[in-house]
Structure 1
Amino acid sequence: MTQLVRFSPRHDMNRLQRDFDRLFGTFFPGFDEDADQNVSWTPHLDVLETEDAYVLEMDVPGVSRDDIQINLQDGVLTVSGERASREVSENDNVVRVERHAGRFFRSFRLPKKINEQKIEARHENGVLMVTLPKVEESKPRKIKVS
């Protein structure tokens, strides 16, 4: 007898994301630390590096800026929040649910070259952008001998 197995591309994508996170952690140890596993969903994230900063771009569609918390403690930046679940009336017949609701959490150990006092965040069109400015490196200064 043949068994039918449900095809789940999401399962394969989640495995790929975990593998990518592990690979990313090899090159930037301690940069990404998802310590809390008691979450409903994990927003997708891009990390960009410019000459002056790192930029975290996190997909948080349907999450109000008032429902997002960003904390910095001991060099660890934590982004958390919650997306409210959709109200379903008694007359609605829900056929399929794919959108996640509930709490999310991401935590990142910042590199030492980040100016923690100048970190900025903005929320636009369902994307949270956190800018982590790099510390200006001191440049050698020539001293004239008189």
Structure 2
Amino acid sequence: MSLITQILSEDFPQFQSTNEISATDILSEVFPQFQSTNEISATAYARIDRKETPEAHVFKADLPGLKKEEVKVEVEDGRVLQISGERAAEKEDKNDKWHRIERGRGKFLRRFYLPENAKTDEVKAVMENGVLTVTVPKQEASNNTLPAILRRFLAFYLTLQFLSSRLDFSEENQTSRK
């Protein structure tokens, strides 16, 4: 225990028997309405790992304490994977006096744009031991298809070639226009 904690513990009971004192602890004692801002959830921004395997796009989220009924996985607009959920606050008994609230609670929502090769109608989600795993299978790539950006570039290039063949950019034509 630090010297400051020892000195303050004589006048402020919240300093007496703890090794971890934070500014939010003190503020919540002095200003009870401050405690509601302390309820910002650890799951408010659920951390999600995303990887791509040869067969699928895989998303993993640590969601400890959540049941699978409290988590929703859906595909919106054909290409947006949305993972959302909520951890509700515990029901309080009027006789209970909370000393510390550290476990996260609240809502979370994450969205991921899925690539063109995702089979969005075959999404699978599994919740096991507080870990959500979402698997989005990939379509088999055929060897004769070009990536979308190359197809667009090729279409643009061919359009330019077509237009330049139809338009006369010779010097005589340019001087006659002036």
> Could you say which residue in structure 2 is the equivalent of 1:48?
51
Aligned equivalents of 1:88 and 1:70: distance in 2?
30
Say whether residues 1:69 and 2:72 are aligned partners: yes
Partner of 1:109: 113
Q: CA deviation at 1:139?
A: 3.7
Higher share of residues assigned helix: 2
Q: Distance in 2 between matches of 1:81 and 1:138?
A: 37
Measure how far apart 1:98 and its partner are. Answer: 1.5
Aligned residue identity for 1:81: G
The amino acid that maps onto 1:92 is: D
Give the C-alpha shift of residue 121 in structure 1.
Answer: 0.6
Question: Matches of 1:73 and 1:89 in 2, distance apart?
Answer: 40
CA RMSD for the aligned pairs? 2.2
Tell me the SS of whatever aligns to 1:138. Answer: coil
Distance (whole Å) between structure 1 residues aligned to residue 116 and residue 101 of structure 2: 42
Q: Which has the larger radius of gyration?
A: 2
Partner residue, 1:120: 124
**TM-score normalized with structure 2 length:** 0.53
Q: Structure 1 unaligned runs (5+)?
A: 1-5, 8-38, 141-146
Letter in 2 for 1:127: V
Compare relative contact order (CA 8 Å, sep 6+) and give the higher one, 1 or 2: 1
Q: CA offset at residue 120 of structure 1?
A: 0.7
CA drift of 1:64 comes to 1.3
- Number of equivalent positions: 105
Cα deviations across residues 43-62 of structure 1 (Å, max 9, x unaligned)?
A: 12111221211110011111
Counterpart code for 2:110: R
**Aligned residues with identical type, % of pairs:** 38
Instruction: State the AA in 1 paired with 2:125.
Output: A
Distance 1:134 1:115 in 2: 6
Please give the secondary structure, in 2, of the residue aligned with 1:71: strand
1:18 maps to none
2:140 is matched with which residue?
A: 136
- CA distance in 2 between partners of 1:139 and 1:109 (Å): 24
Deviation at 1:94, TM superposition (A): 1.6
Gaps spanning 5+ residues in structure 2: where? 1-21, 24-39, 145-178
* Shift >6 Å, 4+ stretches: none
Alignment of 1:31-46 (within 5 A): 40=41, 41-46=44-49
Q: Which amino acid aligns with 1:86?
A: E
Q: Match of 2:102, as an amino acid?
A: E
Q: Which amino acid aligns with 1:63?
A: L
